[in-house]
Structure 1
Amino acid sequence: MALSNRVRLTWRIAPMVAVAALGLAACSNGQDPTSEKGTTPPPFTSVAPSIAAAEQATGELEAGSGDSLVADLENSAGQKIGEVTFTEADGHVAVSADVTTLSAGFHGFHIHQGGECDGDFTSAGGHLNIPGNESGHSSGDLTSLLALENGEATLTTATDMVTLEDIENKTIIVHSGPDNFANIPADRYTNREGGQGADATTKSTGDSGSRVACGVIKK
């Protein structure tokens, strides 16, 4: 009877030992056991980067993300109504504009050759044109702004007609009306000079009306 009890006890202990052994094998993660009592090796040995290191890496990335210029747009009363940012990357200049208090509809939007925003903004001169440009459009031509009924206009566009060096200390102008980009088919329209298609004024201004906002482009 005693022998039988010992046999049953042995069979009960054996599976428990086997399960414990399997558990240790699964949790060891291929690491050597620790020599300190009451501890187990950690499941991962890689060290996470510190917050300071992460912030340093982020700062380095931002510092090398490309040069930029900015223009504060003001109306004829000297009130700031928007901002335009120019960032150079991948062979082009990205342009981002946020403008308020415009009349609803399209507004001509160009880089001008002058460096001042005085009075009615005629001091900004005509559209910027880089020597050697043979595209048929001014180097300073940009996509028109579209203002909503609340007067707000947001635009993200790009141009490869200029570089940041070309436009620094030049001006950005918002016009009162839409720009037709001199798209006047010669076989359909007679201009004010009696010729066919776009005349000199249309080619240089896009017939976009008066200047309602101006900003000097600078660092």
Structure 2
Amino acid sequence: MDTRVLGLCAALIGLAPLPAGAADTATAEIINVLGRTIGKALLQQGPTGVLIFIEVNELPPGTHGIHLHSVGKCEPDFKAAKGHINPHKRKHGLLNPAGLGRGDLPNLFVAVNGTASAEFFTTRVSLKRGTAALLDDDGSAFIIHANRDDHMSQPIGGAGGRIACGVIREM
């Protein structure tokens, strides 16, 4: 079967409405530095963590760091989103033995046509519970960075400037 068909099927399944009584859900509209919508993210609370599906376009091809930031604001330079969710002040990086902040995620791979879709699962945050709740009083946001995250360097893995942002909102 054509991999494009499989990808489309996976995307449609990820975007399908959840049945009544399903886990809590949230969404984020991803915008670029010009304020134009370039994608979306859907988040679903599971029993042990959060499943994240993200779909974006109009990004530079290549590998980009993506993180969960501690404030749900996307001002023009995206600095209002503050730093990564990291209530325990751990070092940055999925590969860092002293690390693994709550907002650290795998890199996002953008195709030559500027599109990307990915699915992540993280046990380090929740939608509404605990010290790393995405839907807390000041909210949280996705930030997509200009460069890849090396998952080790401080403070953001060498990921560079902020090129896209999405405020996470309850559905």
Aligned to 2:44: 87
Is the CA contact 2:70–2:82 (under 8 Å) kept in the aligned structure 1? yes
Structure with a larger share of its residues in strand: 2
Name stretches of at least 5 consecutive residues in structure 2 with no aligned partner. Answer: 1-16, 92-97
Aligned to 1:209: 160
TM normalised by structure 1 equals 0.61
In the alignment, residue 160 of structure 1 is paired with which amino acid? T
* 3-state SS of paired residue (1:143): coil
Q: Find 1:167's aligned residue among 122, 129, 134.
A: 134
Is the CA contact 2:66–2:143 (under 8 Å) kept in the aligned structure 1? yes
The alignment status of 1:121 with 2:88, answered yes or no, reads no
TM-superposed CA distance for 1:116, in Å, is: 1.0
TM-superposed CA distance for 1:132, in Å, is: 7.7
Q: Which has the higher contact order (CA 8 A, sep 6+)?
A: 2
Aligned partners of 2:44, 2:108: CA distance in 1, in Å? 18
In the alignment, residue 146 of structure 1 is paired with which amino acid? F
Aligned partners of 1:88, 1:114: CA distance in 2, in Å? 19
Structure 2 vs 1, CA of residues 93 and 79 (structure 1 numbering), >3 Å: closer, same or farther? Answer: same
TM-superposed CA distance for 1:90, in Å, is: 2.5
Structure 1 residue ranges, 4+ long, deviating more than 4 angstroms after superposition:
132-135
> What number of residue pairs does the alignment pair up?
141
Q: Find 1:179's aligned residue among 143, 149, 161.
A: 149
Matches within 5 A, 1:6-155: 62-131=19-88, 136-155=99-118
Structure with a larger share of its residues in helix: 1
Structure 2 vs 1, CA of residues 164 and 214 (structure 1 numbering), >3 Å: closer, same or farther? Answer: same
RMSD over equivalenced CA pairs, Å: 1.8
Structure 2 vs 1, CA of residues 181 and 205 (structure 1 numbering), >3 Å: closer, same or farther? Answer: same
